[in-house]
Amino acid sequence: MISFPERLLNKLHEVKSQNKFRTLKASYPVIDFSSNDYLGFSKSGKLQQRVSSLLASTNSGSTGSRLISGNSSLFNNTEDYIAQFHHAESALIFNSGFDANLGLLSSVPQKGDLILSDELIHASLIDGIRLSFATHYKFSHNNIAQLNDLLERHHASFNEIYIVVESVYSMDGDSAPLIKILELAKHYHFHLIVDEAHAIGIFGDQGRGLCNELNIEDKCFARIYTYGKAMGCHGAAIVGSKQLKDYLINFSRSFIYTTALPEHSVVSIKKAYELLINSKEITHLKTLISNFNTQTMADNSFIKSQSAIHCKIVPGNTQVSNLETKLSDLNFFVKSIKSPTVKENQERLRICLHSFNTIEEVNQLIHLITS
């Protein structure tokens, strides 16, 4: 039998004993308050219909990296479309949001540069930062005073400074104080990187994201839009200047050294953008969000959020797991987020609202978790 290293076995035993052991499930309770399919694009069939008529003329595989044999006019045209939609000079498609963040942060900040990031940024941004040779400091979540302090102390010692935040935090649902961060630019020179993974499809004109809603698109060095959430498909794009795109094509290893997305995925991205324009789903989702907030406003166990992600803090891995099981038995699919994904005592139920959820379902869920 092939042996498995003892130390790794011990790590598995440890997570099991702490109720932190992860497994993969193949079926889920039917009332979905968990997936990131905020607008129902992946399920409704609308996107599939638009894509399937075009599939006959596409290849099933892209055959190589985009720098070798995997590129096509479909990629180029879709990137032009994405850039235009997000009011940027350029867009570059990556195979996933994880790849986009990894490739951006590992290649752009250089030795002698400084990265300042919110403590709650996504693992893909953290891993990109770990691969970079720049110096890195974290500031506590949404803490502008601490960010200002770090800038004041360190700005003179570094060549370039990159600030990395999310417009909607995936495990909290709240937003970075983007306007306040940009006010710091009056005193310090920095480049702002905003991950809009959970904001596309929810905020802004026709779902363009929170940077659009706040009218700060042109103030961002780079914005990341991912397509596996509200857009109901797969992949991601980094938008920014033409030089940024040129730089990433030449230096971003998760872009260069991988087989490009198949054409099917690229067509899906284009069609998902077309669905977004004049989408009625956004309007219904906004009504659900506002209804949820009205009902939970007075309860401090909920993290305040204007996004589709709402969290109720339920301290303790066992306690939050039990609540997830109780809801699952009633056919509600709501995921518990346990430590170490979140800090101890900050374990939570993560509730994702969708355009296909009914008001009755939302009210029933609130009743079940608050009574």
Ligand X SMILES: Cc1ncc(COP(=O)(O)O)c(C=O)c1O
Candidates 177, 228, 262, 316; binder of ligand X (CB under 6 A) is 228
In terms of CB distance, is 151 or 168 closer to ligand X? 168
Amino acid at 367: H
Regarding 236 and contact with ligand X (CB under 6 A), the answer is yes
Q: What are the start-end ranges of the E strands in 108-243?
A: 114-118, 135-139, 161-166, 191-195, 222-226, 236-240
Site residues (CB under 6 A) for ligand X, limited to 71-110? 96-98, 101
**Greatest pairwise CA separation for the chain in angstroms:** 64
**Cβ at position 195, least distance to ligand X in Å:** 5
Going by C-alpha positions, the residue among 275, 55, 304, 58 that lies closest to residue 175 is 304
Regarding 197 and contact with ligand X (CB under 6 A), the answer is yes
What is the DSSP secondary-structure string of 252-266? -HHHHSSPPPPHHHH
**Cβ at position 223, least distance to ligand X in Å:** 12
Regarding 361 and contact with ligand X (CB under 6 A), the answer is no
In terms of CB distance, is 113 or 166 closer to ligand X? 166
Candidates 118, 195, 281, 324; binder of ligand X (CB under 6 A) is 195
The helix (H) or strand (E) run that includes residue 320 is helix 317-329
**Cβ at position 167, least distance to ligand X in Å:** 9
Per-residue binding letters, 311-340, with ligand X (x by CB under 6 A): ------------------------------
Whether the Cβ atoms of residue 180 and residue 171 lie closer than 8 Å to each other: no
Judged by CB under 6 A, the stretch of 151-159, 192-200, 324-332, 357-365 that binds ligand X is 192-200
**Cβ at position 186, least distance to ligand X in Å:** 28
In terms of CB distance, is 151 or 192 closer to ligand X? 192
User: How many of the chain's residues bind ligand X (CB under 6 A)?
Assistant: 14
In terms of CB distance, is 114 or 164 closer to ligand X? 164
In terms of CB distance, is 104 or 116 closer to ligand X? 104
With 0-12 CB in 10 A as exposed, 13-18 as middle and 19+ as buried, what is 290? exposed
Which distant-in-sequence residues (6+ apart) come within 8 Å of 192 by Cβ? 162, 163, 165, 178, 181, 182, 219, 220, 221
Using CB atoms, what's the residue nearest to ligand X? 97
CA torsion angle 302 215 210 166 (round to 10): -90
Taking the C-alpha atoms of residue 126 and residue 107, their distance in angstroms, rounded to an integer, is 13
Which distant-in-sequence residues (6+ apart) come within 8 Å of 68 by Cβ? none
Judged by CB under 6 A, the stretch of 137-145, 191-199, 315-323, 330-338 that binds ligand X is 191-199
Judged by CB under 6 A, the stretch of 84-92, 103-111, 195-203, 303-311 that binds ligand X is 195-203
CA torsion angle 358 331 364 229 (round to 10): -50
Regarding 166 and contact with ligand X (CB under 6 A), the answer is yes
DSSP 8-state symbol, 134: S
For 20, the 3-state DSSP assignment is coil
Taking the C-alpha atoms of residue 91 and residue 209, their distance in angstroms, rounded to an integer, is 15
Bridging pattern class, strands 90-94 and 114-118:
unpaired
Regarding 240 and contact with ligand X (CB under 6 A), the answer is no
Please state, as a whole number, how many other Cβ atoms lie within 10 Å of the Cβ of residue 186.
6
In terms of CB distance, is 122 or 223 closer to ligand X? 122
Site residues (CB under 6 A) for ligand X, limited to 104-143? 122, 124
**Cβ at position 235, least distance to ligand X in Å:** 7
For 303, the 3-state DSSP assignment is coil
In terms of CB distance, is 193 or 366 closer to ligand X? 193
Per-residue binding letters, 27-66, with ligand X (x by CB under 6 A): ----------------------------------------
In terms of CB distance, is 42 or 151 closer to ligand X? 42
Give the footprint of ligand X on this chain (CB under 6 A): 96-98, 101, 122, 124, 166, 170, 195, 197-198, 226, 228, 236
